[in-house]
Amino acid sequence: MRAEKHLLHLFRFCPRCGSGAFAENDSQSKRCESCGFVYYFNPKGAVAGIVTDDNGRILVCRRAKEPAKGSLDLPGGFMNPAETAEEALVREIREETGLTVTESQYLFSLPNVYPYSGLDVHTIDLFFVCRVAPDGNLNPQDDVAECRFMPRDEISPDDFGLSSVRTGIERFLKMSPNHR
d(Cα 174, Cα 180) in Å, to the nearest integer?
13
Residue-level pLDDT at 1: 46
Residue-level pLDDT at 96: 97
Q: CA dihedral in degrees (93, 99, 103, 106; nearest 10)? A: -20
Among 24, 66, 87, 146, the one annotated catalytic: 146
**pTM, entire model:** 0.89
Local confidence pLDDT in tens for the 180 residues of the chain: 445 778 888 899 999 999 999 999 998 999 999 999 999 989 999 999 999 999 999 999 999 999 999 999 999 999 999 999 999 999 999 999 999 999 999 999 999 998 888 788 899 999 999 999 988 899 999 999 999 999 999 999 999 999 999 999 999 999 866 555
Q: In what order do the strands lie in the sheet with 101-116?
A: 76-78, 44-51, 119-132, 101-116
Q: Judge whether 146 counts as a catalytic residue.
A: yes
